[in-house]
Amino acid sequence: MTGIDFIAELEFLTTEKGGRKGYAKSGYRPHIEFENYPEILTTGQQTYIGKDTVEPGEKIKAKIAILSTEYFSNRLYENMEFKFCEGPRTVGYGQIIEIINSDLKSDPKIKQELINLNLYPKDILDRIKIVYGGLRTDFKIISELQELIMSEDSLRNPRLIRAIIYLFTIGKIDRKKVFQMAKTDWRDILMCAEYKYIGGNEKSIRVRDFNNEFGNETLEKPAGNNGYN
C-alpha cells in the first residue's frame, strides 16, 4: 500500500464504548466502511500527523491510504464520513477533510443520488435482496450495478436500473448480457423489459412501467388485447 489517498480527522472510541483496549500506532490498518457504501469493506492504513500513537477516545488527523481505489474512483468527497473497524467491531469514526488522490475525487457537479445505488429508491435494493439475499450474490450484484452507473451517465436513473434488474432476475437473459445491452443502447433495455410482442404481426404494447416501484410496474390490461398477460 503506497501513497496517500486522503487526509481525515479520526475519532477513536473509548474502550468503554467498544473501542480498542490499547493505543494504535502509526501504520495501523483497520477496515474502512464509507457512508452509503456498505457493500464493500476496504482497508485504510493510518499515518498519524504530529504524533506516533493514539489512545482510545482521542481525536487526530491522519493520512490515509486505502485498498480498492478503483472501486471508489470518482466517489469520494470532502466531509464524507466513514467508520473504521477490527472485524465486526467498530473502533472509531472518520471524516475526509482533503482528498489527495485526484482519481478518487467525486465531480461536485454530479449528485451523489445519481452515482450511488444505495441512495436510489429502496425498492431497487429490496428486489435484489429478495431474489439473492443470503447467498452473498446480492453484494456482488450491487457492486456490479454500482460500477455500471459510474461507467454510463445515461443509465443513472431508477427506471433503467429497475428494467435492468427485472431482465436478469426473471432468468431470461444472462446478467452480463443485460449489462452489455445497457451499455450499447439503453433503449433496448426498455423495449425488452417494458414491452411485449402480441399476435403474429410483431406489434408491441407496453405492459410495464419501471418509473413505478417494483410491485407496481405492471400496467392495467388494455381492452381488447387478448394476447396481453
Please, what are the domains in the chain? Answer: 6-104 (2.40.30.10), 112-206 (no CATH)
Q: For the residues 85-99, what does the mean pLDDT come to?
A: 96
Q: What percent of the chain has pLDDT over 90?
A: 80
Q: What is the pLDDT of residues 166-218, one digit of tens each?
A: 999 987 789 999 999 999 999 999 999 999 987 666 688 999 999 999 999 99
**pLDDT recorded at residue 201:** 61
Q: For the residues 38-46, what does the mean pLDDT come to?
A: 92
Please give the grid coordinates belonging to residue 83.
Answer: 467508520
Please give the grid coordinates belonging to residue 85.
Answer: 473497524
- Three-class SS of 37-83: CCCCCEEEEEEECCCCEECCCCEEEEEEEECCCCCCCCCECCCCEEE
Q: What are the C-alpha distances in Å from 188 to residues 1, 88, 192, 196, 210?
A: 42, 42, 6, 13, 14
**pLDDT recorded at residue 228:** 43
* pLDDT of residue 24 exceeding 90: yes
**pLDDT recorded at residue 42:** 93
The letter for the amino acid at 216 is N
* pLDDT of residue 92 exceeding 70: yes
In whole angstroms, what is the distance from residue 72 CA to residue 104 CA?
Answer: 6
Please give the grid coordinates belonging to residue 114.
Answer: 445519481
Grid-cell match 406489434, residue found: 203
In whole angstroms, what is the distance from residue 55 CA to residue 35 CA?
Answer: 24
How far is C-alpha 25 from the chain's CA centre?
A: 31
CB 162 within 8 A of CB 125: no
* pLDDT of residue 144 exceeding 50: yes
**pLDDT recorded at residue 220:** 80
**pLDDT recorded at residue 136:** 74
**pLDDT recorded at residue 73:** 93
Element (H, E) at 7: strand 6-12
Q: Which of 43-47, 99-103, 167-171 has the lowest mean pLDDT?
A: 167-171
Angle at 32 between CA 147 and CA 67, to 5 degrees: 60
- 10-44 exposure pattern, b = at least 16 Cβ within 10 A, e = fewer: bebbeeeeebbeeebebebbbbbbbeebebeebeb
Phi, psi of 12 (to 5 degrees): -85, 135
CA dihedral of residues 65, 68, 71, 72 (deg, nearest 10): -10
* 113 or 3, which is more confident: 113
* pLDDT of residue 63 exceeding 60: yes
Rg of the chain (C-alpha set): 22
* pLDDT of residue 221 exceeding 80: no
**pLDDT recorded at residue 200:** 60
Q: Which of 1-10, 23-32, 68-77 has the lowest mean pLDDT?
A: 1-10
Please give the grid coordinates belonging to residue 69.
Answer: 481505489
Q: For the residues 105-114, what does the mean pLDDT come to?
A: 94
The count of other CB atoms within 10 Å of the CB of residue 189 is 26
Q: Which of 49-63, 102-116, 210-224 has the lowest mean pLDDT?
A: 210-224
